[in-house]
Amino acid sequence: MGSRQPDGVDERIRRRLTVFAAGVSSVFALYFMVRRVLDNSLDATALFIGAAAVLTGGTALWVHRKPSSRGLAHLVCGGLFVILVGIAYNNGGSTAPATEWFVAICVFALYLIGPRTSVVYAVLSSLVFAGFHLAGVMGLSLPEPPDPAYLAQARLGSRVATLCFVVFIGWRFAREKQRASASAHAARDDLDVVLRNLPQGVLVIRDGTVHSVNDSVVRMLDTPEERLLGTPVEQLFPGWAFDGGDAATFESELVSPAGTEVAVRVTPVALRDPRGRHVLLLSIEDLRDRIALEQQLRTSQRMASLGTLAAGMAHEINNPLASIAANLDYLQHGLGEPEPSAEARDEVGAAIVDAKDGARRIAQLVRDLQLFSIGEAPRAGIGPVGVEPAIRAALRLCRPQLERVDEVDVAVGPDLTVAGSEAELVRVLVNLLVNAAQAMAQADSPTKRIAIRAREEGPWVELEVRDTGPGIERGLTEKIFDPFFTTKDVGQGTGLGLSITHQLVLKMGGTIRVQQTGAHGTTFLLRLRSHEARAEPDEAERAPAAPGPSDAGAVEGVRVLVVEDDALIVRVLRRMLGVDAVFVTGGDEALEQLASASFDVVLCDVMMPGMNGRELFERIQLEHPAMAPRVLFMTGGAFTEDARAFLERIPNRCLAKPLRLAELRAAIHELGQAA
């Protein structure tokens, strides 16, 4: 392929061609004007003046170059117009062959100057023709036309030149149309390349089905383009109906023909194609990376909050732990006395009650920490959440941070429940309480007070957290829920707490807003959907179940297989269960026992090394399906998403450690009776 000339060289060649054509035209015009003076051949002059005009204009059209000066274009067109008027007048007016070239002047003006100038020359030409005609009607004298025979020859030459001019113009316009069509095709190809390589997905919907897709959608759904073409839009976006107009941007699940689901944000735009048919353009943004990043941010904020809470949790655990240790020492010492007095026996009973109370307090703190550490709540975990138990759990977790708060006032309506996740509601409350405590401490408020209010308002529960801190500047209230925005000192906050609180409230179907109370504190108002179900009492407030008269013998005759890897828990369970219990430390041993002996109940820990509780249960379902309903789980905390999802999915009961004797025996007795 030959090399293309630079643009500057092409432009110089065009200019030289134009100047050359204009020079040749001028020579022709001057030559035939001299001939007119010598032999009075006006018609020949008119013919070749027209030819010169065609040559000049045609050359300009050929090189597709407008004159660089509009003044020069006006001068050329105006000069030719005046010359043609003079020639037409000297050759008899409207019958002169020169009048046929007024059309060429209009065409040149259209191309070289613009449509308005072309209209002006068309009007002037019409006025010239009207003037010649009016002069004839009024009998005004005009120069006599030349000899008819010569005039016929001149008119023939003029018409041949006109025909050539028209053919040339038609050819030129056809060539321009071809170039425009080629440019349009090239632009369409370029647009297709751009659309196919856009990072955002593009779907074109026509007549309710997919007409075209770009490569981003193909990669997004991991589905060949051929399978997507012709797919109904309702199949890709279940539950979404398009009414034919522009719709608001929305977030949805994009579902492929193979069933793959992708979280996306969709912006629909209604268009019409060149034939006037409705076309729907969908701009699709893949949200998977954003959702993963948000999850990472929530996890990092949760871990930062856990670190803050854990720093003061040692004190909260050490107090009841000291009570347990001291009471156990007292009991151990009392066992050495041969005949304890009645008063000593009463003290032993009181020591046992105090030790159990301390253990219950520690268990509740551990449960609260586990609840706070849960990540995304599974859908099965969404249900009625008691507002008061959630507030109590949050206050227990925040106790060290609230030590310098003068008063925490709680007023909650009776039996208030909301629809959502208990873990997420506790996280919301912890974030708001810690934020309030830090704000009052940083500003050194004279009166540090937090008020928590909850009341029912129709289908909503309004929850209010108010502090007496320094408040928030009015210009910042719109920004406090933005990620990484913080007014705290460097190192005192991540700027994620309120942002994630806002996301959690929205996820529960509620709203949160800040109410400014001047320089005397800040109020956060939450609105959460009410739930009709009654909340279960707080674990810490439940009275310990007193052993019934039949508890001691409730498990007698029930064959129990215990799967537990912790030796300390095994010793406790031996004392609690007594006889007819077989203990193994792993899943493989449990399967061997089930294959060789008969059991009524399997008591299994969830979190174990090697084969965990979920894997053992799945093996029991396959190898001993009759035993699967009689598996009773126990756990000190399901720390993984997999374990939590497993416990939510199965119908089997799971007991929380530390185990209560009455609850454990009752559960084993119930399963043993069903065996």
Per-residue pLDDT of 166-214, as tens digits, reads: 666 666 677 777 888 888 788 777 777 777 777 888 888 888 888 888 8
- The Cα diameter of the chain in Å comes to 162
Q: What is the mean pLDDT of residues 40-56?
A: 51
Q: What is the mean pLDDT of residues 446-466?
A: 90
Give how far Cα 524 sits from Cα of 290, 380, 427, 451, 515, Å.
27, 29, 15, 11, 6
Greater pLDDT, 65 or 130? 130
Where are the domains positioned within the chain? 7-186, 198-286, 293-529, 550-674
Considering only CA atoms, which of 373, 385, 431, 397 is closest in space to residue 641?
A: 373
Residue 281 pLDDT > 80 = yes
Residue 152 pLDDT > 70 = no
Structure tokens at 640: 């993984």
Q: Distance between CA 125 and CA 76 in Å, rounded?
A: 16
Q: Distance between CA 136 and CA 606 in Å, rounded?
A: 117
Considering only CA atoms, which of 440, 434, 421, 422 is closest in space to residue 497?
A: 434
Give how far Cα 508 sits from Cα of 382, 425, 527, Å.
9, 9, 10
- The per-residue pLDDT for 404 is 81
Pair type for strands 560-563 and 601-605: parallel
- The per-residue pLDDT for 20 is 53
Q: Which of 71-80, 329-338, 374-383, 632-641 has the lowest mean pLDDT?
A: 374-383
Q: Distance between CA 528 and CA 458 in Å, rounded?
A: 11
Q: Distance between CA 122 and CA 128 in Å, rounded?
A: 10
- The per-residue pLDDT for 189 is 77
Q: Distance between CA 437 and CA 448 in Å, rounded?
A: 8
Cβ atoms of 412 and 387 closer than 8 Å: yes
Residue 476 pLDDT > 70 = no
Per-residue pLDDT of 495-510, as tens digits, reads: 556 777 887 888 888 8
Length of the chain: 675
Structure tokens at 392: 């109590």
pLDDT band of residue 566 (cuts 50, 70, 90) is confident
Structure tokens at 452: 């928590």
pLDDT band of residue 532 (cuts 50, 70, 90) is low
Q: Which CATH number is associated with domain 293-529?
A: 3.30.565.10
Residue 561 pLDDT > 90 = yes
3-state secondary structure of 64: coil
Mean pLDDT across the chain: 75
Domain 198-286, CATH homologous superfamily name and number: PAS domain (3.30.450.20)
Q: What is the mean pLDDT of residues 564-584?
A: 82
Greater pLDDT, 105 or 628? 628
Cβ atoms of 467 and 538 closer than 8 Å: no
Residue 269 pLDDT > 90 = no
Q: Distance between CA 70 and CA 200 in Å, rounded?
A: 47
Q: What is the mean pLDDT of residues 373-393?
A: 71
Pair type for strands 201-206 and 278-286: antiparallel
Cβ atoms of 228 and 209 closer than 8 Å: no
- The per-residue pLDDT for 280 is 83
Q: Which of 35-49, 187-201, 419-433, 627-641 has the lowest mean pLDDT?
A: 35-49
Q: What is the mean pLDDT of residues 557-562?
A: 89
Cβ atoms of 278 and 244 closer than 8 Å: yes
Q: Distance between CA 347 and CA 345 in Å, rounded?
A: 5
pLDDT band of residue 8 (cuts 50, 70, 90) is very low
Q: Any idea which fold 550-674 has? A: Rossmann fold (3.40.50)
Pair type for strands 201-206 and 209-213: antiparallel
- The per-residue pLDDT for 35 is 53
Q: What is the mean pLDDT of residues 439-450?
A: 79
Pair type for strands 560-563 and 522-529: unpaired
Cβ atoms of 389 and 425 closer than 8 Å: no
Q: Distance between CA 657 and CA 576 in Å, rounded?
A: 14
3-state secondary structure of 640: coil
Cβ atoms < 10 Å from Cβ of 168: 15
